[in-house]
Amino acid sequence: MKKLALLLVLTLFFMNISEAQSKRKRKKDQATEVAPTPKKKKSKFKKYSEVITSEAISDDGIFKTHKVGDKYYFEVPNDYLSKDMLLVTRLAKLPSNLGGGYINAGSKTNTRLINWERFQDRILIKEKSSSAVADDSLPINISVRANNYEPTLYAFKIEAFSPDSSASVIDVTKFYSSDVKAISGLPSYMRRQYKVRNLDNNRSFINSVKSFPKNIEVVQDFTFNASEPPSSRSAETISIQVNQSMILLPEEPMQPRLFDPRVGWFTISQVDYSSEELKADRKSYIRRWRLEPKDPAAYARGELVEPVKPIVYYLDPATPENLRSYMKEGIELWQRAFEAAGFKNAILAKDPPTKEEDPDFSPEDIRYSVVRYVASETRNAVGPSVSDPRSGEIIESDIIWYHNHLRSYRNRYMLETGAANPSARTLNTSPEDIGEMMKMVIAHEVGHALGLPHNMSASCAYDVESYRNGAFTQKNGIAATIMDYARYNYIAQPGDTNIRFIRQLGPYDDYAINWGYRVIPNVNSPQDEVKTLHKWIMEKAGDPKYKFGNQGSRFDPTAQTEDISNNSIKASDYGLKNLKYVAENLPKWTSDTTNNYDDLEELYGELLGVWRRYTGHVATHIGGVYENTKTPDQSGVVYTPVSKLQQQQAMQWLHKNAFNSPTWLVDKKILQNIDYAGYTERFRRLQAGHLNNILNFERIGRLIDAEVLSSENYSALNMLRDLRKGIWKEADIASNVTVYRRNLQRAYIDRMVYLMTEDLNPQRSRQYFNVNQSDIRAIVRGELNVLKRKLSGASNAAVNTLTKYHYRDCIERINLVLDPK
């Protein structure tokens, strides 16, 4: 038995040994086997040939672009990552009345400074901030970038790389075919106005993509579903064609020129955190084209030199042939001004190239500056431009001319000059006069596109009597610049001879162009130019021909729109004399020759507008303040109240010419042929408009402030007393009150109630003070009490019943505000 047990143990022992040896052998065999090759990880990027196939329609330019089937691709070169570019959105085609008539083919809706950047497997479009800057070498630049983090406008997946790996291939189809708000041709306010619901993808597509050496032009066709479109209401659809321009900005920005408010320029602004000032230094630079002399040595010697790259404007192919010469002349009128800055042939006008000359020419192409001719009933012209936000360099501009604009000029030519100018007494203005008007309008808009804003002080440079002197007007025109709103000589009287009635360029235009465009030698920074620029201003200081008056002023009677001469009160006297002559002859010049009343009605309505302008020029003197922008090294102060005497004269003039019953304007042979009713309401609106303008919180506030400066200044109390005495003069003499005066007197009470109960509108007011705690309501309350006592006696002495009822009604209206309970 023991033997049997021993045999079993030995058997198990040898079996375990054998199994262990077998396991060791298997491990050894496994160790000697070759490990299998792991599978290669699949690339997240496709091969170039898989994306840009043999079917691709390609275009080479700043980026290579490709159309493959329904998809569009860009090759974004590595060398162009982080390069500054502009993304400009323009309307190429649009429905009628979009934006109320002032939006047109060529209007831009967005301008963005962008960079293309790579992040991992994506290419981003980042909008770059230009409003806050700091030198790259300074530590504060880190903070500027951290606190002005730029938004990502779009992120594209990298589909592939170019064969030499120098560019990333991205699919831009969705970017350009979907409703990307950042580059939309339909701004948010229009979406609200027209109740846009969404973009209809089935009716929206990319029209074309073209690449050029420095820009890419993409044309989109977009259709939106909208409940209240501007036209074709029943279709509930807005279709627009949009042009997207992407242009490479200069590697080295143009050296900026610092703005000086004593010379008018459009500007760009930046907050400079690298300034040595003890604050973030806000700097403004003027907007101008980059003009550099071809021959710097000759330029330095004072010779006229052509620029390396002149400013070139092309005419829109849609421009009527008979108007093209006037447009080109208007553009090239500025050559004289550029000669003052040392350049010859600096600005050129060209006809649009033919298809054979330039098959790619498009007015929307940002490479071309174009005078756009717009088929629209809008009466206007504008001169916008696109500029480099880093430096103010103007890259491109489009002058917009609306088809019906000349009708406005024909009408005003008749109304403002017809008394003294026989050639204006017709609806069929001569082609020569029309051409001269158009030439000057184009010149005005080109001035904007060169960087010049309106200068509303330039029309005050000349003495009022000089406008009746033929030799003077032929030489000097009617303002010191084309950039004022001084369109016609409305001062010249019948019998004055050899008068120039239409505006022209003047000495300020030469001065401003020289100041902005002359190359100053041996300067390395904008600050280096300041001394020279200041010197040029000081050489002209005190001469009214070179004064700049901001259009935004609502208080300076020497910086008004549409006025002329250094005495707008006397000028308005002359203007009203002429307007009475025109009103008397208006039927003879219109309906008597056409045998219908359409033109008579149109011109009569505009004649009332001319009357409103002339009288409004005088009203600005009341509470007026002269603004003379200057630096501390110039004598005198910047702001000076209009003298008490002149304000009193203006008040007397208004009582005589604006607030009296306008019997000469109420011409029965006109009114009874153009309307069946509304005769008195026309004049109520006109007179109440001037009255409300005078009884204005800001104006009265300026009069209160003027008393602080001197007790000799016209006071708010004196103004309100003088106004009351003139408006209610019938109550002092027991005279009947005409319907026009009754309307005006009720408008006076309504406005006084407004002053008692309302406040400054913070959305519109520029001068903030606490109305409720000022003198205004105390003075108004006092004036209403005086008036109430006066009317109580006048109502008893009233000559007729209607006047008596009117006075008693006015007393009740006053009671309602003085004692509401």
Find the range with the poorest average confidence among 167-181, 262-276, 592-606, 628-642: 262-276
| Spatial CB neighbours of 695, under 8 Å, sequence gap ≥ 6 | 723, 748, 751, 752, 754, 755
Q: What are the start-end ranges of the H helices in 451-597? A: 470-476, 507-517, 526-540, 568-589, 591-594
Amino acid at 592: D
621 pLDDT above the threshold of 90: yes
Q: What is the distance between the alpha carbons of residues 61 and 83, in angstroms, rounded to a whole number?
A: 16
Average pLDDT in the 71-91 region? 95
Measured in whole angstroms, the distance separating CA 138 from the mean position of its chain's CA atoms is 36
Of residues 585, 625, 634, 614, the one with CA closest to residue 713 = 625
Contact 477, 504 (CB under 8 A): yes
Backbone angles phi, psi at 317, to 5 degrees: -55, -20
Which pLDDT band holds residue 380 (cuts at 50, 70, 90)? confident
Q: What is the distance between the alpha carbons of residues 787 and 800, in angstroms, rounded to a whole number?
A: 20
Average pLDDT in the 168-183 region? 94
Q: What is the distance between the alpha carbons of residues 173 and 798, in angstroms, rounded to a whole number?
A: 80
Which pLDDT band holds residue 548 (cuts at 50, 70, 90)? very high
* pLDDT the model gives residue 267: 95
Q: DSSP for 419-436?
A: TT-GGGSSSS--HHHHHH
656 pLDDT above the threshold of 80: yes
22 pLDDT above the threshold of 60: no
Give the CA count within 13 Å in the CB-facing half-sphere of 30: 6
Residues 368-379: pLDDT tens digits? Answer: 999 988 877 777
Q: What is the distance between the alpha carbons of residues 664 and 680, in angstroms, rounded to a whole number?
A: 13
Of residues 317, 437, 402, 442, the one with CA closest to residue 102 = 402
Of residues 698, 690, 609, 693, the one with CA closest to residue 656 = 690
Contact 405, 103 (CB under 8 A): no
Contact 775, 759 (CB under 8 A): no
Q: What is the distance between the alpha carbons of residues 628 and 639, in angstroms, rounded to a whole number?
A: 6
Residues 386-408: pLDDT tens digits? Answer: 999 999 999 999 888 887 788 88
Q: What is the distance between the alpha carbons of residues 142 and 49, in angstroms, rounded to a whole number?
A: 42
β-strands 132-133, 237-248 pairing = unpaired
Q: What is the distance between the alpha carbons of residues 398 and 385, in angstroms, rounded to a whole number?
A: 6
Residues 737-749: pLDDT tens digits? Answer: 999 999 999 999 9
Contact 159, 45 (CB under 8 A): yes
Of residues 670, 726, 734, 730, the one with CA closest to residue 694 = 726
Q: What is the mean pLDDT of the chain?
A: 90
Residue 550, classed as helix, strand or coil, is coil
| Spatial CB neighbours of 667, under 8 Å, sequence gap ≥ 6 | 583, 584, 586
* pLDDT the model gives residue 799: 74
Q: Calculate the CA dihedral of residues 485, 487, 492, 498 and round it to 10 degrees.
A: 130
Of residues 618, 617, 621, 587, the one with CA closest to residue 604 = 587
Residue 473, classed as helix, strand or coil, is helix
Q: What is the distance between the alpha carbons of residues 243 and 94, in angstroms, rounded to a whole number?
A: 12
Find the range with the poorest average confidence among 103-107, 159-163, 455-459, 535-539: 103-107
Q: What is the distance between the alpha carbons of residues 800 and 44, in angstroms, rounded to a whole number?
A: 96
Contact 814, 787 (CB under 8 A): yes
Backbone angles phi, psi at 108, to 5 degrees: -95, 145
Residues 147-162: pLDDT tens digits? Answer: 677 899 999 999 999 9
68 pLDDT above the threshold of 60: yes
Q: What is the distance between the alpha carbons of residues 439 and 454, in angstroms, rounded to a whole number?
A: 17
Q: What are the start-end ranges of the H helices in 318-370? A: 324-332, 335-340
* pLDDT the model gives residue 513: 98
> In this structure, what token pair is assigned to residue 509?
């235009």
> In this structure, what token pair is assigned to residue 452?
């010049």
Residue 511, classed as helix, strand or coil, is helix
Q: What is the distance between the alpha carbons of residues 656 and 664, in angstroms, rounded to a whole number?
A: 13
pLDDT greater at residue 647 or residue 8:
647
Of residues 673, 680, 689, the one with CA closest to residue 604 = 673
Q: Can you state the angle between helices 324-332 and 431-449, rounded to 10 degrees?
A: 40
In angstroms and rounded to an integer, the radius of gyration of the C-alpha atoms of the chain is: 37
Count of residues for the chain?
821
- DSSP at 99: G
* pLDDT the model gives residue 150: 84
| Spatial CB neighbours of 295, under 8 Å, sequence gap ≥ 6 | 303, 305
* pLDDT the model gives residue 523: 93
Find the range with the poorest average confidence among 309-313, 351-355, 462-466, 805-809: 351-355
Residues 291-333: pLDDT tens digits? Answer: 999 999 999 999 999 999 999 999 998 899 999 999 999 999 9
Of residues 243, 251, 154, the one with CA closest to residue 206 = 243
Which pLDDT band holds residue 449 (cuts at 50, 70, 90)? very high
* Segment holding 805, helix H or strand E: helix 801-818
Residues 474-495: pLDDT tens digits? Answer: 999 999 999 999 999 999 999 9
Contact 577, 420 (CB under 8 A): no
8 pLDDT above the threshold of 60: no
Amino acid at 428: N
Of residues 660, 683, 820, 704, the one with CA closest to residue 753 = 820
Of residues 799, 801, 643, the one with CA closest to residue 730 = 799
Residue 231, classed as helix, strand or coil, is coil
Of residues 456, 498, 502, 497, the one with CA closest to residue 477 = 502
| Spatial CB neighbours of 606, under 8 Å, sequence gap ≥ 6 | 411, 412, 415
Residues 660-694: pLDDT tens digits? Answer: 988 899 888 899 999 988 889 999 999 999 999 99
* pLDDT the model gives residue 767: 63
- DSSP at 559: S
Model confidence pTM above 0.85: yes
* pLDDT the model gives residue 4: 47
Query: What's the CA angle centered on 287, arms 284 and 290, to 5 degrees?
Result: 125
Contact 639, 713 (CB under 8 A): no
Q: What is the distance between the alpha carbons of residues 572 and 27, in angstroms, rounded to a whole number?
A: 115
* pLDDT the model gives residue 403: 79
Distance set, CA 38 to CA 34, 41, 492, 571 (Å): 12, 9, 97, 95
Of residues 446, 501, 456, the one with CA closest to residue 480 = 456
β-strands 85-93, 237-248 pairing = antiparallel
Which pLDDT band holds residue 763 (cuts at 50, 70, 90)? low
10 pLDDT above the threshold of 50: no
9 pLDDT above the threshold of 50: no
Measured in whole angstroms, the distance separating CA 479 from the mean position of its chain's CA atoms is 23
584 pLDDT above the threshold of 70: yes
Strand partners, 155: 124
Q: Domain locations in the chain?
A: 55-248, 251-585
Which pLDDT band holds residue 37 (cuts at 50, 70, 90)? low
Task: Give percent of the chain above pLDDT 90.
Answer: 75
Find the range with the poorest average confidence among 352-366, 441-455, 715-729: 352-366
β-strands 369-374, 215-226 pairing = unpaired
21 pLDDT above the threshold of 80: no
Find the range with the poorest average confidence among 2-11, 51-60, 65-74, 596-605: 2-11
Strand partners, 93: 241
* pLDDT the model gives residue 35: 55
Q: DSSP for 261-277?
A: TTS---EEEEEETT-SS
pLDDT greater at residue 799 or residue 113:
113
Of residues 383, 450, 438, 436, the one with CA closest to residue 408 = 438
Biggest CA pair distance of the chain: 160
Average pLDDT in the 16-44 region? 57
> In this structure, what token pair is assigned to residue 61?
């330019």
CB neighbours of residue 364 within 10 Å: 23
Q: DSSP for 37-54?
A: PPPPPPPSS--HHHHS-T
Direct distance between the N- and C-terminal alpha carbons of the chain, in angstroms, rounded to an integer: 134
* pLDDT the model gives residue 102: 76
